Every structure is written in structure tokens, then in C-alpha cells.
Structure 1
Amino acid sequence: MEHVTTSVSGAAKFSETSVSSTWGAVPLAGRPTPDEAFKYCAAISAGHAENFPVASLFLPEEKRPYLQAIYAFSRIADDFADELDVSPGERLARLNDWETMLVDSYNGRADHPVFVALAETFYRCHVPLEPFSDLLSAFKRDVVQNRYESFEDLLSYCRCSANPVGRLVLMVFGHRDEEIFKCSDAICTALQLTNFWQDLFVDLKKNRLYLPLEDLRRFGYTEDLWRRGVADERFRALLRFEIDRTKALLYDGAGLPSRVERELAVELKMVWFGGMAILRKLERRGVAPSSRPSLAGIDKVGILFRSLYYNDLSRYGRKKKQWDLT
């Protein structure tokens, strides 16, 4: 489209090797059309296994390409931050270049397919630049920070790493209400925390520990025990504590689906139930170096059923008190 112009500064900074080796897609030759760019982003979305759906078939077809563009931008940036065989300085340089290309695309100049798709997303959906910049700040933080002293420190990370994604999804659907954003923030933070607890031992190879250090001290667990893969009673008590806090955040956002259109509501409920299912698996089985809870096919069928059946998420999974007759 004519409002997307060529950016000389953009794609030249990313060779085919630097991008494709990160996530496996093959860059297009030359500047792609918007349709080609959206197909490129859709391939990235389809090629990564996630706990939670990315632009599923329950969403209106005309909205999916924009969500896939947002996901592709985030996926590649996250992979840049996680390239352990690349120096921290080089990883930050790649993220800085990615940010330059982001700003160019916001101004309608793009060559890389992800940013051609994002330029269309900015133009068609009127989404702001800030949530994307917040995401990049979180990815940069991953490069330079691998410990969090307090739960509040961890929440500050989630405010940039997770919450912008939910807000962008809502903006694509035309929502701008701050109260709706607050519900979304609670769910997105809970999902990010769920992923942290799920990957506690997977993150050993990155030397990233997302359990707040103050909580380790509270439960008598240590970094040395974590590095040795010890999942003893102290660890289990600590994990239960974090799971309870994470569930509380999910319930804080439980009213979100009822405040949006049905197509988006089903998707949001699938995400919500997916997070809750992982937390319940963590409660029952815990996590260990040889055991990472994940969603099986039967779990996903149950999530779909509950997403279509349940309307009041705030009551799901909560035991009724004896005097509660509702």
C-alpha cells in the first residue's frame, strides 16, 4: 500500500543469517507486499508451540493478521534476547536495531516483512508505539538482569514484558477503556508468572531465576539448591506460595471476557483457562528438572469446552462456603 514506504535503514541491518537462525523462518527477497508480510508473520505464529493460542480461528478473520504481526515482532525480539551464544552487547545491539526499525514502521517506512505488517497494523488499527517500546525494554532487561529481589520488582518486569501484549490485542478490537486494561494487565501478568514457574528449571541454562530472592529467604530455599535441581519440601512450599499469588491475579482479571465482544471473549477465556490449567498441574505435580508441566491434547479439549460453557470465571474452581446457596 502506498502509505508503507521503503526504509533503507531497516532490513539492511539484519542479514538473512542473523534473523533466520534465531527462529527458522526464511526472509523474503526484496520488500514484501503487505499480504506477503502478513503471511510471513502468520508462519511465525504457527511455527511456535505455546501454552496459549495466538490469533485462533475463534477470532474474526480480518483481525488475525494484525495479532500475528504483533506476535511475530515480539517472538523475534524475545529470541534476540535469548541467544546465549551471542554476547550481551551484540544482543542489545540487535534489539536496538529492531527498535529503530519499529520506529521507522510507525512512520510508514518498512522493508522487513514484520515491519511492513506492523506499519499496516499501526495504520489500520491506530495502535500507539508505546506498548511495543515497553516490550523491547523488557527484552533488553532480560539481557542485563537475571535476578529479582522482590515480587514488586518482578511485577515491574511483567508490566513491560506481558501487559503490553494484552493491551495491544484489546486495541486491535477497538477497546481503549482503562478499566478493561486493568483486567487485562492482571491476566497477562498472571500468565507471565505461570510461564516462569513452569520453566523454573528450564531457565537454569540461561541462569535466569524469576523466583523473588526475598521469597527464597522466607522459605529457606537457596540459589545453590535451584542450580542443583533440588525440589524439596521448601521448594514445594515456595512454589505453592507463588501459585496462590498468581491465581489471585487471574481472578482479578476474570471479569474481562464479559466486557468484550463474544469472538474475543472466547479467546480470552481460552487463555484464562489455559493459565489456570497449568497452575493446577503445578499444584498437583510440582516442577522438577525432569518434569515440566504442559498442556496435553485432552487438556486443550477441556479448555475449549469450559471457554464455551462458562461465563462467570470468578466462580470457577472456588469452593463454595456452606452458607453460599448460589
Structure 2
Amino acid sequence: MTAFEQELAIWGPKSSYFQGTDALVGLQQAQAYCRKIALGHYENFPVVSCALPRYLRQHFFNVYAFCRWADDLGDEVQEAEASLALLAWWRSQLTSCYQVLSGSSEDGQHSVPRLHPVFVALAPTIQEFELPQQAFDDLIQAFEQDQHVVEYQSFEQLLAYCQKSANPVGRLVLHLCRTVSPTHLEWSDSICTGLQLANFWQDVARDFAIGRIYLPVEDRERFGYTRAQLEQNEYNQQFQQLMDFEVQRARQFLLDGLPLISHLPGRLQIDIDLFARGGLKILDRIERLQFNVWQQRPVLTRFDFVVLLLKSSFRQFGGMRR
């Protein structure tokens, strides 16, 4: 049994908790659960969380835990049908959470539904920062899309996927920062799309191994990289040119979003700068490998993140002095 299968056994829809035999989870217990997920599942999140203002850390943990669970429901469940059913359950939990906050229910009664610990912790965050339900639902839709769309014909189609799989996270962060505006949303979307693309190009081999191809067909055809070469994981001049093109495009999205950082409050500038610069660093690593991501997956070490953190801190300090 995998670690996530164990989580499902404890907190999934068929668990004893949701059968009503276990006691309801309290807020403090739920917050501790989200904190454990955030600090335990993402290798660099502890570094990032240190840059966050203390009053925001738990709220970020709560949002992250939602995303982690949705991601695992999409990627860690073997059968697509089972994954879609679990994602539908996760959406029903989201709906119930918002209904509790609004004081309504589908049947018109005011009985309190049994909520997953993530939503117990997330509810006060949603209320305090007025987080939009659509952003959470868009993320669920992206994971549902992964179950039946495994290849993209055009870059425009890939961008439409990023609008649901990546951009909502940045929009939620803007709400947590209380800095939502049309211009800020545009910059945030650019950074998030750039980060998602950087992740795609970092994980070409990993994604192909699980049957997903994010290199658009039109781009592969443009550079003469054939389907047969893709299936053989062939590294050649055509693949180099294709990856160079994709890396430069991802880099431009990240650079176009950097103006957002100076418009964020205080130490949050460090956090978002760190994420954006991390994406740029990944793209640099892909270039240093001469784009041969078939042979080696480019990664950032904890030391890399510490260096980036220091640089982001100096940039923020320099901006404050100016």
C-alpha cells in the first residue's frame, strides 16, 4: 500500500471517518494535518515557508494541502475512472465547505456536513481572505482533464490547460496577500504559466513514462521531431532546437511576470521572487544539459534554494532602501 493509499484509507470517502464512526476533526487538529502535508510533501516548502510572514504560514499550508490532495487524487490513483470519482468527491467537499460558510445546504437544511480535515482548516482561510471557489474548482478540473487528455495538439491548448492547472494557485496567493487587481492577476498568471511550462520541460521523460506528452504536436512538427523519435526518447539536433524554443518561451512568461514582485507587501516579495527565480534556474539547468532531459532530470538542490533565498532577500532589502 502506497503512502497515499494509506491516507485514503484514513481520510477518503470510504473511511470510517466519513462513515460517521470517528469523532469530527477539530480546527487545531486539522491545521496540524495541513502543516504536516505542506512541510513533508514538498522538499523545498520549508525553505519557502521561512520567508513567509508568520501570520500567513498556516493559511498557505491550508491552501497547499488542498492542492496536494487534489494532485494526488489525480496522479496517485491507478484507474482513471476511480480517479475521476475521487475528484468528484473532492469537489463535493469543496462545495460543502462553501455552503457551510454561507449557512446554506443543498437540501435547505442547516445540518453541518462531515468535512475532510483539509477543508476544516481551509474554511477560516476562505472566509478571512474571501478566496474564490472558482479557483479551487479550476484546479480540480485540471486534474480531471489529466485523466482523459494526455497530449496537446497546439500550444494554445496547452496554455488553456495552464489557466486551470497553474494560474489559480497564483490567484489564490494574491488573495492571501490582499493585492488583487487586473494588472496583478495578469502578472501572476504569467509567472504561474511560466512555472508550469518549466515543470513540463523539466519532466519530459517522467511525464512520457506515465503516458503524458506536453510537447505540443505543432511544435514537434515545426522542428521535425517525429512521433517515432519521441517514443524512442531520441536526443538529436531536432529535439535540442525544440527544447530550446520551449525553454525560451517559458522564460519569457516568467520574466514578463516579474514586475508583480515589487507590488507585493513586505516579505511576500521574497517568497514570490524565490518561486519565479527558481523556475528561471530550472530553465538554466535545462540549457546547461544542452536540453537532454531524456538522459537527466534537471533539479534544484536545497543549497540552490538557499542561495536563491539570499538573493531574493537582498533584492527586497535593496528595493526597500531605494
Give the partner amino acid of 1:97. Answer: W
Aligned match for 1:90, one of 82, 102, 105: 82
- In structure 2, the residue matched to 1:3 is none
Unaligned runs of 5+ in 1: 1-13, 313-326
Alignment of 1:58-137 (within 5 A): 58-83=51-76, 85=78, 87-108=79-100, 109-137=113-141
RMSD, matched Cα: 2.5
How many angstroms does 1:84 deviate by? 5.3
Aligned match for 1:251, one of 228, 232, 255: 255
* Cα distance change of structure 1 residues 217 and 52 upon mapping to structure 2, 3 Å threshold: farther
How many angstroms does 1:68 deviate by? 1.1
Q: Does 183-192 or 115-124 show the bigger shift?
A: 115-124
- In structure 1, the residue matched to 2:320 is none
1:54–1:68 CA contact under 8 A, matched in 2: no
1:294 corresponds to 2:299: yes
Q: How many residues were matched structurally?
A: 295
1:18 corresponds to 2:8: yes
CA distance in 1, matches of 2:188, 2:43: 19
1:146 corresponds to 2:139: no
When normalised by structure 2's length, the TM-score is 0.85
Aligned match for 1:207, one of 190, 205, 211: 211
When normalised by structure 1's length, the TM-score is 0.84
Q: Which runs of 4+ in 1 moved over 4 A?
A: 14-17, 19-22, 50-55
1:54–1:67 CA contact under 8 A, matched in 2: no
CA distance in 1, matches of 2:215, 2:80: 22
2:44–2:302 CA contact under 8 A, matched in 1: no
Alignment of 1:150-189 (within 5 A): 150-189=154-193
* Cα distance change of structure 1 residues 53 and 198 upon mapping to structure 2, 3 Å threshold: farther
Render the CA deviation track for 1:49-73: whole Å, top value 9, x for unaligned. 3567785111111211111111111
How many angstroms does 1:17 deviate by? 5.6
1:186–1:249 CA contact under 8 A, matched in 2: yes
* Cα distance change of structure 1 residues 66 and 253 upon mapping to structure 2, 3 Å threshold: same
How many angstroms does 1:222 deviate by? 2.2
How many angstroms does 1:21 deviate by? 9.9
Q: Secondary structure at the match of 2:71?
A: helix
How many angstroms does 1:125 deviate by? 1.6
Q: Secondary structure at the match of 1:288?
A: coil
1:55–1:64 CA contact under 8 A, matched in 2: no
Unaligned runs of 5+ in 2: 101-112, 318-322
How many angstroms does 1:298 deviate by? 3.1
- In structure 2, the residue matched to 1:9 is none
Q: Percent of aligned positions with the same letter in both sequences?
A: 39
How many angstroms does 1:226 deviate by? 2.1
CA distance in 1, matches of 2:90, 2:48: 23
Render the CA deviation track for 1:198-233: whole Å, top value 9, x for unaligned. 000011222100011100001111233222221211
Render the CA deviation track for 1:289-309: whole Å, top value 9, x for unaligned. 341000023322321122122
How many angstroms does 1:140 deviate by? 0.4
Q: Secondary structure at the match of 1:31?
A: coil
Aligned match for 2:228, one of 201, 208, 224: 224
Q: Does 94-103 or 110-119 show the bigger shift?
A: 110-119
1:84–1:206 CA contact under 8 A, matched in 2: no
Q: Secondary structure at the match of 1:208?
A: coil
Q: Secondary structure at the match of 2:49?
A: coil
Q: Secondary structure at the match of 1:147?
A: coil
2:62–2:121 CA contact under 8 A, matched in 1: yes
How many angstroms does 1:193 deviate by? 0.4
1:310 corresponds to 2:303: no
How many angstroms does 1:106 deviate by? 1.3
Aligned match for 1:45, one of 26, 38, 48: 38
Q: Does 37-46 or 226-235 show the bigger shift?
A: 226-235
Give the partner amino acid of 1:298. Answer: F
* Cα distance change of structure 1 residues 257 and 78 upon mapping to structure 2, 3 Å threshold: same
